[in-house]
Chain A
């Protein structure tokens, strides 16, 4: 049953799902690294990106790639706006106040969509060519799958270069390592946080577009589960470090696909439960994740 082709197919699916998790997890891990905030509103920016993409796609906006780039840019600014209005007034407050605020922001965004466009799921249909299947050596993938992986890798490479080489990028890594010391060195924390929110939200919007295209549907609560799972991915890789988010995203993508693909079909309904059981396991045996520095304090 598990022929090489079948295994290769599962690997393709895993890379595909993992790419999307990685894109989402990067934004979560950047914000957590800087502010120790689990940003529950992150998944909702993904949803907004998908809706904006749907708006442009159904208006037959061309070229197609712009229906992806425009939402990315727009949602990047939405991310900045959310940080400015909701999180910045709480700088220096106990972590839990920001956590509650992010839950509130998430609820406000979701229900604003329910109020304006209703909770009715909508079809997200791309032009026919994009979903065309290619078969190489018995393994099939669509143009969209190739786009997902290619684009994700390109975006992540660009982000890595940015964080490694630019002044703001270096400042960001410094602030993630030690916020207070970075501030004493004259780093403008507000600016760094703003850039982190912009980049993270941009990647979330890209993931939202790709997610909607893959599953051909959008609805106001679609961001909840991917956002939560991406956080699990970030924890697996080591929260706070960007390469960790990427690694965790791909590992989680593989784990989830393999769970469904290589176990008897009766188990496949438990796919989401498996992801969170994995979180508990990771927190039990390696709470700092794979690439995380072992700084986590324990009781």
Chain B
């Protein structure tokens, strides 16, 4: 039926067991590389590396909605923001909360939980927001989701700016414990890839692809369109919330404007450059397009006119890249195909 259906043939148990084993070997290889990076790179490069991990989480999970289910969410910034605020409020030390957040509800003021549960709570809150937005919107055809999720971004920013007692408004939250590092971000990235891969190759994933290819036919075959689209959307929101939590604990200070539309747009570009509907493509897109702006920022400074760097240039180049990919190579670099890792059995 479609390009994405290639390569999802039946697997025998031995193949699955072998894939698991080879997968573990790859994770071990990644761990070795990360350990190597940890012991050789300076903090600046380690931070870029951690951001690469976060962007992989965001791009791969966005692929579920925008690539496989054929919807178009622009909610990354909103979900990240929800995840970041939730996790930061949970993980801040109690002493700091009593000092900086006098208006916080007493139970929250008296709690401080470890990083992992705080991150998961961030993801869960983002997922709840996704249900609220998704239920009215995903019943409809057309790309209302794009506008509704942008609307959610505005709502989140407005609430973060006005809910002084909890968010401290425009002052934001600072002094967030710097718990995030390459191990956390890449750990979550591996988990995201695994979960998305499993979902895509499950009956739910087939249903998503079927809806993308032909909504009416999928519905006629008994696919619950609303439930399937909602699952994709909520799951990707969960991971975006997690990514926001990781990001907050990396940069240690967040304000309502930390999560702007630029982040959403850049993740979308990573996705389309890698190719919507390709998980490996998303990973490569995320890596390339995290490094590109870092390089371009140097160019902006080098091309300074009369002392002011040429701000805007790197964003123009990224946008131009997106437009050119859309016009000349719509399917992205990998066109919905996966790169087969050596040793893995095709599924």
List which A261-289 residues lie within 8 A (CB) of chain B: 269-273, 275-277, 279-281, 283-284, 287
A276→B138 CA distance, assembly (Å): 16
Which A residues touch B272, using CB under 8 A? 100
Query: Which of A232, A273, A279 interacts with B158 by CB under 8 Å?
Result: A273
B-contacting 9-mer, from A90-98, A131-139, A187-195: A90-98
Query: Which of A95, A118, A269, A276 interacts with B151 by CB under 8 Å?
Result: A276
Query: Which of A36, A96, A113, A235 interacts with B72 by CB under 8 Å?
Result: A96
Complex contact B139–A299 (CB within 8 A):
yes
Kindly provide the distance from the CB of B10 to the nearest chain A CB, expressed in whole angstroms.
29
The residue of chain B having its C-beta at the shortest distance from the C-beta of A93 within the complex is B330
Complex contact B140–A296 (CB within 8 A):
yes
A224→B312 CA distance, assembly (Å): 17
Residues of B at under 8 Å CB distance from A?
66, 70, 72, 74, 132-133, 135-144, 146-148, 150-152, 154-155, 158-159, 161-162, 215-216, 219, 225-226, 229, 261, 265, 268-269, 272, 308, 310-313, 315-316, 318-320, 322-323, 326-327, 330
Complex contact B148–A36 (CB within 8 A):
no
A276→B147 CA distance, assembly (Å): 9
Query: Which of B74, B150, B313 interacts with A115 by CB under 8 Å?
Result: B313
A215→B290 CA distance, assembly (Å): 37
A119→B265 CA distance, assembly (Å): 19
A96→B68 CA distance, assembly (Å): 13
- Closest 7 CB pairs between A and B? A276-B151, A114-B312, A107-B319, A111-B312, A284-B136, A299-B225, A115-B312
A269→B148 CA distance, assembly (Å): 20
Chain B CB within 8 A of A290 CB: no
Question: In the complex, given contacts A95-B142, A97-B330, A98-B326, what are 19 additional A-B residue pairs having Cβ atoms less than 8 angstroms apart?
Answer: A38-B143, A89-B327, A96-B72, A101-B323, A104-B323, A104-B326, A105-B319, A107-B316, A113-B312, A114-B312, A269-B158, A269-B161, A270-B162, A279-B147, A280-B136, A284-B135, A297-B215, A298-B141, A299-B226
Complex contact A280–B151 (CB within 8 A):
yes
Take A96-B72, A224-B261, A228-B147 as given contacts and tell me if A298 and B323 are in contact as well, using a CB distance cutoff of 8 Å: no
Take A104-B323, A299-B225 as given contacts and tell me if A235 and B143 are in contact as well, using a CB distance cutoff of 8 Å: no
Complex contact B319–A104 (CB within 8 A):
yes
Complex contact B147–A38 (CB within 8 A):
yes
Which A residues touch B310, using CB under 8 A? 115
Kindly provide the distance from the CB of B108 to the nearest chain A CB, expressed in whole angstroms.
22
Kindly provide the distance from the CB of B183 to the nearest chain A CB, expressed in whole angstroms.
33
The residue of chain A having its C-beta at the shortest distance from the C-beta of B315 within the complex is A111
Interface centre among B141, B318, B319 (most CB of A within 10 A): B319
The residue of chain A having its C-beta at the shortest distance from the C-beta of B153 within the complex is A276
Complex contact B319–A108 (CB within 8 A):
yes
Query: Which of A232, A270, A280, A296 interacts with B133 by CB under 8 Å?
Result: A280
In terms of DSSP, what is the predominant structure of the interface of chain A? Answer: helix
Interface centre among B137, B150, B311 (most CB of A within 10 A): B150
Which A residues touch B150, using CB under 8 A? 228
Which B residues touch A293, using CB under 8 A? none
Kindly provide the distance from the CB of A261 to the nearest chain B CB, expressed in whole angstroms.
18
A104→B324 CA distance, assembly (Å): 9
Complex contact B158–A100 (CB within 8 A):
no
Complex contact B133–A107 (CB within 8 A):
no
Take A114-B311, A114-B312 as given contacts and tell me if A36 and B142 are in contact as well, using a CB distance cutoff of 8 Å: yes
A14→B326 CA distance, assembly (Å): 40
Complex contact B312–A112 (CB within 8 A):
yes
A242→B102 CA distance, assembly (Å): 51
Complex contact B151–A299 (CB within 8 A):
no
The residue of chain A having its C-beta at the shortest distance from the C-beta of B308 within the complex is A118
Chain B CB within 8 A of A99 CB: yes
The residue of chain A having its C-beta at the shortest distance from the C-beta of B216 within the complex is A297
A280→B264 CA distance, assembly (Å): 20
